Chains A and B, each alone.
Chain A
Amino acid sequence: GESVGLHLPTLSVQEGDNSIINCAYSNSASDYFIWYKQESGKGPQFIIDIRSNMDKRQGQRVTVLLNKTVKHLSLQIAATQPGDSAVYFCAENAGSQGNLIFGKGTKLSVKP
């Protein structure tokens, strides 16, 4: 069946270091992927998205990489800050309607 999963459930990094959060997906037909950040008591906040016709997309301090060959997605955060501490979810689209399938999340902790 379709699934989106994460390699690392928790990640602890030092402030100023770069962070890499990984995600595996199983539906080779998925053509849209998205990363969200969720802080405690809040809804998921959109970070960055990428379509399957791209392999890299950059935003402000964030980069998403897509490797369709091995069905792998990653989120890179440059110069990680304490405010980046949150749970990060990857998600893939499940069809043309756009409803998303989410992974279980990776908790990122940034040590000052």
Chain B
Amino acid sequence: DQQVKQNSPSLSVQEGRISILNCDYTNSMFDYFLWYKKYPAEGPTFLISISSIKDKNEDGRFTVFLNKSAKHLSLHIVPSQPGDSAVYFCAATYRNSGNTPLVFGKGTRLSVIA
């Protein structure tokens, strides 16, 4: 059973517009969520995270929203730029696990069109 789901395999957005990437989770014990960006032939790069005690975290053009009741989080990129084209992975963990394993979604490929 997939605990972290990214139901959209791909997304295309015009440059300058907002990109919204969605992620759903099933395990109510998850209390920390992360987004990673991955370019081809590179390792995933940490982008932004959010603790379950918050509902929003912002870092420049990137904002993550968390809706605990819906077990849903989203990553907003405003404005989108061609360099944002990459695969985005949502990940979740629970901090009392002892080894902090990350559970990843399958990823969403974002294409920002100039």
Partners in one complex: no
Interface residue ranges, A against B (CB under 8 Å):
none
